[in-house]
Amino acid sequence: MRWWLVLLFVLGCSRREEAAPTPGSAQMRVISLTPSATEVLAALGAINLIVGVDDYSTFPPEVKALPKVGSFLSPNLETIVSLKPTLVVVDDVHGPAAGAMRDAGLVIVECPIHALPDVKKALETIGSRIGRTAEATRAIAEIEAALETARAKRPAKRPRVLAILDREAGGL
């Protein structure tokens, strides 16, 4: 009996956490710190969830009207916190800034996008975090289909190419 009382006391005194918004709900508030992440969010049909973008995000055109949260390499932490995001999408170059955002209580997802496989991974990661897994699967399938079409059009024999740079007169 004593253990039950102790357990009830501990549970009653514990800090109550606010429930995180359900992924994909209207309560989701996303900030993107890279143009590539902004385009991934657009591909997922999540423009309506974005509340702030980096200074260089210009596509799709709708994001030009969104609040700017600083440059790619120096995001403005005060602006980011003031927008009350439920998720901030960062790149691997945002290490110190991402740490400061975590310290400020923000939820961070790191999605470095430097090559095509990174795009697919970002679609999966961000899609699952915002409740758009079906859209992510569809976008990845479209990428795969476009790649397959390009492979089918590739000539059987690749052309031979010679590139000459900074040639001196009379030499090759």
Query: How many domains would you assign to the chain?
Result: 1
| Cα-based distances in Å from 15 to 10, 18, 153 | 10, 10, 61
Note whether residue 5 is domain-resident: no
Cα–Cα distance, 36 to 20 (Å, whole number):
25
The pLDDT value recorded for residue 66 is 97
Q: Is 43 exposed, middle or buried (0-12, 13-18, 19+ CB in 10 A)?
A: buried
The pLDDT value recorded for residue 56 is 96
Q: Angle CA(27)–CA(32)–CA(37) in degrees, nearest 5?
A: 115
The structure tokens listed for 172 are 């090759």
Note whether residue 120 is domain-resident: yes
Which residue is associated with the tokens 């790191």?
A: 110
Cα–Cα distance, 50 to 120 (Å, whole number):
20
Note whether residue 67 is domain-resident: yes
- What is the residue range of 88's domain? 26-153
Note whether residue 62 is domain-resident: yes
Q: Is 95 exposed, middle or buried (0-12, 13-18, 19+ CB in 10 A)?
A: exposed
CATH code of residue 51: 3.40.50.1980
- CA atoms within 13 A of residue 142's CA, in its CB half-sphere: 10
Provide the residue-wise pLDDT of the chain in tens; the chain has 172 residues.
555 444 444 445 444 333 445 555 558 999 999 999 999 999 999 999 999 999 999 999 999 999 999 998 899 999 999 999 999 999 999 888 999 999 999 999 999 999 999 999 999 999 999 999 999 999 999 999 999 999 999 888 888 898 888 877 776 6
pLDDT tens-place string over residues 142-167:
999 999 999 999 888 888 898 888 87
Which phi and psi angles does 75 have, rounded to 5°? -65, 145
